[in-house]
Structure 1
Amino acid sequence: MDQIDKRNRLNDEPFSFRLNKNNTVFLDYNGKQVKILKGKEAEKFLKKMNDAEEEKSRQLIMAKITGNFKRGNER
């Protein structure tokens, strides 16, 4: 894990998710929505989150799913 997050940005816990009653998952980065997961993709995500043992692992899962969404033009 230390080799993946060399700058320790996941320690600040920038990612979070919300689940609505239709099992749609909304992924947020610093309080802003960046991705929506539905159907089988959402089920797979929720299973990974339940299997993760610590918060840093959960942060890494969310970071990988959101992908490279930051391009330098967001404020």
Structure 2
Amino acid sequence: MGVPAGFSYERRADGSVIIWHHGRRAAVLRGARAQQLLAELEHGDEQAVMARWTGDYRRGNERVARNHPRNGGR
């Protein structure tokens, strides 16, 4: 599994937080969710935290899930 990279974030004056991925907006968080993200960023790997919040990360089980009978695999 690779290390997530290319994420950055911007705190806005209105309290919202924008997460950018390779220069493109990936998520906008407001209110309590924005505050929760900022708290997590203080205590963890910023790249991994932002990848998790945007859903842009791999778990390593995509091939296994694709082949499962429930998902149409054989």
Normalising by structure 1, report the TM-score.
0.68
2: CA distance between counterparts of 1:49 and 1:28? Answer: 14
Q: Which of 38, 63, 68 is equivalent to 2:51?
A: 63
Does residue 7 of structure 1 match 2:8? no
Count of aligned positions: 57
Aligned equivalents of 1:37, 1:31: Cα separation in 2 = 17
Larger Rg, first or second structure (1 or 2) = 2
Give yes or no for the alignment of 1:17 onto 2:9.
Answer: yes
Q: Which segments of 5 or more consecutive residues in structure 1 lack a partner in the other structure?
A: 1-5, 70-75
**Cα RMSD over matched residues?**
1.6
Report sequence identity in percent: 23
TM-score computed with the length of structure 2 as normaliser: 0.69
Q: State the alpha-carbon separation in 2 of the partners of residues 68 and 49 from structure 1.
A: 16
> Out of 50, 53, 67, which is 2:42 matched to?
50
Paired AA for residue 14 in structure 1: G
- CA–CA separation in structure 2 for the residues paired with 1:26 and 1:49: 13
Q: Which residue of 2 aligns with 1:72?
A: none
What stretches of structure 1 move > 6 A for 4+ residues in a row?
Answer: none
Question: What stretches of structure 2 of length at least 5 have no aligned partner?
Answer: 58-74
